[in-house]
Amino acid sequence: MLPFLLSLPIAVFYFVLIPCLLRVLILIRELLIAEPDTGFILTWKPLYADVANSGEIGYTYGTYDLSIKDPHETRSGTYASIWKQDSTGNWKFVLDTGNPGLKPKL
């Protein structure tokens, strides 16, 4: 009985940890070689943008249209994005959110 208990950690390694690691590696491989999702098209139209006086943060808002190919359907709404300038001068969004079905009054 004692030899079995001593070999238990090795058995756990071979029969539990290695298969889990292999599943993770297979999933990563599948994600890396996956084809792009062409089942939808997202278009957006900025209606307004503004930047803080410091030039470090800004925002945009506008409308969007989401066209889904199967089943053919179009959804519309509004979005708002907050942008921040990084140390190299590139703009990165820090918040991007939307609401379906709301159209702004122009």
SS (H, E, C) 74-92: EEEEEEEEEEEECCCCCEE
Let me know if residue 22 belongs to a domain.
Answer: yes
Flag whether 58 is in a domain.
yes
Average pLDDT, integer, range 24-38? 68
Residue 27 sits in the same domain as residue 59: no
Whether the CB-CB separation of 67 and 76 falls below 8 Å is answered with no
Report pTM: 0.57
Based on the domain organization, do 44 and 93 belong to the same domain? yes
Look-up: residue for tokens 């792009």? Answer: 36
Indicate if the pLDDT at residue 57 is higher than 60: yes
Please, are residues 74 and 68 in contact by the beta-carbon 8 Å criterion? yes
pLDDT at position 71: 75
Same domain, 57 and 92: yes
